[in-house]
Every structure is written in C-alpha cells, then in structure tokens.
C-alpha cells in the first residue's frame, strides 16, 4: 500500500491569545506520552512508515510533546506547526531532525519579532526544513511586507495563512478587498499553497487552483481518504476526512483505530478538501501528498 498521511489535532489549548483565534483551555484527553509512543509504534507495525502533520492549539503545550515527537520520529516523518514558544534546544536534541519539518507561526500580538527571529535563527543552525507562517489578519496587513523581509533576510521561507473569521463587517477569507489581496500576493507570491483552499474572487489566483478543478459533487465517488489518510482529534478519535459527518475510524488511544481497506464512496455532497484523493484525479492531488525529507 502507499504511504498513509495523518493530521493530528493533538489539543485545543494554547499559551498565546491571538485576537484572530479562540484557543480553548481544554487540552483534550491527554493520554501520557508513553501511550502515544506505543500507539505510533503499533501504527508502524500495521501500516508502515506514515506521515503525521501536527496541529492544535499549540502542540508543544501538550504534556510530554517533545517525548511524543522523539518516539514518533523513530518510525514516521512529521510536520509540526508551532508558535515556537517551546524549548528549541530540547527539541533539536531529542527529535530525529531527518524526519522533521517545522512551520513556525509568527503572531505579532503575542511575541516581538526580534525574539521570534532569535528562535528561528537558533533552529536555522540545524539541517531540516523550516518556514515561517503569518496569518493575513486585516489589521496586520500594513506590516506584512516588513515581516516578510525580516524573515527572508534570516534565510527562511515566508508563508501566508488566510484569516478565517469576521472583521469590520466582512467575512474572511472571501471578504479580502482588492488592496488586501494585492499586498498578500506581494508578500507570498501567487503559488502559496495555503491560498489554494478557497476562492477569493476576481484577481485571486487561488480561484484557479485545484479546488476549482474538482467536479461539483463527490457524493458516491470512491475516495482514498480513510484508506490513505485519517484525521485525529484531541480525544484520540479519528475520521476519514474533515467533511461534516465523515466516517469514523475508531480511537487510537482505545486501540480501536482501523483504516479503511478500500477507497470507500464519499458521503458528502460537497467536499471541503482541495486535495481530496479521488482515484482518476491524481493529477489534481497527488503532488500535494509528498514528503520531501532527507533520506534516513
């Protein structure tokens, strides 16, 4: 079988308070780190070496997260999105860096750019893929080019995440004004992967992205999500994809998790995923499910 990909929302808690986000204080079920290390060794036995994208909340506030990463990277490759408030030195000492990619998210309301870049530069001494992400929150767009330059001057890629939510009577990301779109595209170029997941109207290259290429309904069509992909929630439960009502795949902590054996028919009228794995449409999605790590 091909490689299996996971998205793991390990918790919903965060130590920052960004005004464009509402982290919850519930930290999820919080199985101990040793249990998670066992779980991922078992997944390796059953499904081979997989790829896990961690998200949250802030993953590093999960107790023992560095130990979890150290255990998981014995078998699998990982990608972590973090606000980088963690102990960078412990991270590079404990984790197999050949199997790590790290997206450091910069949140100007919570950390000074100098302090943030200091941590980025500390990581930059080590040979693994890293980049910086920045939420294109409308009140912050006046400084986006300054931040972009500072990050790029440090030798690190600058990536944009569209803002999801309401601001000043508009709903984003669809509500970006022409001037806002222009500055966003100036900051990240028109090939930014994170802009592919939505259509933002005239002038936005995102409209021409893979989401637009997909047929209008997916209901009843076989999809590899659930066989080659699963989404894990803070309580350890897993679903085949992010669509409302997506099929449940059991619970990793309870030992009931199973991937589907064949591409099962989709149950959703409208698929929310721009890189959903529909057989026959590989040209649209296959290149986005690749993990370019150094050979281990």
Interacting residues with ligand SF4 (CB under 6 A): 14, 16-18, 21, 23, 56-58, 83, 105, 107, 218, 223, 225, 240-241, 243, 246, 266, 268, 271, 273, 276, 278
Return the number of the residue (72 or 223) whose C-beta is nearest ligand SF4. Answer: 223
Q: How far is the CB of 103 from ligand SF4 (least distance, A)?
A: 11
At its nearest, how many Å lie between ligand SF4 and the CB of residue 55?
9
Nearer to ligand SF4, 151 or 241 (CB): 241
Write down the least CB distance from residue 262 to ligand SF4, Å: 13
Report the nearest approach of ligand SF4 to the CB of residue 61 (Å). Answer: 9
Task: Give the shortest CB-98-to-ligand SF4 separation in angstroms.
Answer: 27
3-state secondary structure string across the chain: CCCCEEEEECCCCCCCCCCCCCCCCCCCCCCCHHHHHHHHHHHHHHHCCCEEEEECCCHHHCCCHHHHHHHHCCCCEEEEEECCCCCHHHHHHHCCHHHEEEEEEECCCCCCHHHHHHHHHHHHCCCCEEEEEEEECHHHHHHHHHHHHHHHHCCCEEEEEECCEEECCEEECCCCCHHHHHHHHHHHCCCCHHHCCCCCCCCCHHHHCHHHHCCCCCCCCEECECCCEEEECCCCEEECCCCCCCCEEEECCCCCCCCCCCCEECCCCCCCCCCCCCCCCHHHHHHHCCCCCCCC
Choice between 30 and 218, CB closer to ligand SF4:
218
Q: 5 vs 293, which CB is nearer to ligand SF4?
A: 5
Our CB check for ligand SF4 shows the closer of 92 and 264 to be 264
């Amino acid at each position: 079988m091909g490689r299996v990909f996971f998205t793991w929302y390990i918790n919903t808690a965060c130590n920052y308070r960004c005004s464009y986000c509402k982290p919850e204080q519930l930290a999820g079920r919080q199985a101990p780190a040793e249990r998670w290390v066992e779980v991922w060794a078992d997944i390796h036995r059953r499904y081979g070496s997989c790829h896990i994208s961690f998200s949250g909340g802030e993953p590093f506030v999960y107790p023992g997260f560095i130990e979890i990463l150290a255990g998981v990277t014995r078998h699998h490759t990982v990608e972590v999105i973090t606000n980088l408030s963690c102990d960078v030195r412990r991270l590079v000492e404990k984790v197999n860096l050949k199997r790590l990619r790290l997206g450091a998210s910069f949140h100007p309301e919570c950390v000074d750019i100098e302090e943030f870049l200091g941590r980025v530069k500390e990581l930059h001494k080590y040979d693994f893929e890293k980049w910086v992400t920045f939420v294109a929150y409308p009140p912050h767009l006046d400084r986006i080019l300054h931040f972009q330059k500072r990050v790029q001057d440090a030798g690190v890629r600058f990536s944009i995440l569209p803002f999801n939510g309401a601001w000043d009577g508009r709903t984003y990301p669809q509500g970006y004004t022409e001037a806002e779109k222009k500055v966003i595209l100036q900051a990240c170029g028109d090939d930014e992967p994170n802009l592919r997941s939505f259509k933002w109207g005239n002038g936005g290259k995102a409209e021409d992205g893979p989401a637009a290429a997909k047929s209008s309904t997916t209901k009843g069509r076989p999809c590899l999500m659930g066989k080659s992909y699963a989404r894990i929630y803070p309580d350890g439960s897993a679903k085949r994809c992010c669509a409302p009502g997506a099929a449940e795949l059991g619970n990793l902590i309870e030992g009931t998790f199973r991937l589907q054996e064949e591409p099962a028919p989709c149950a959703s009228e409208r698929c929310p995923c721009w890189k959903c794995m529909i057989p026959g449409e590989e040209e649209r999605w296959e290149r986005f499910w690749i993990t370019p790590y150094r050979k281990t």
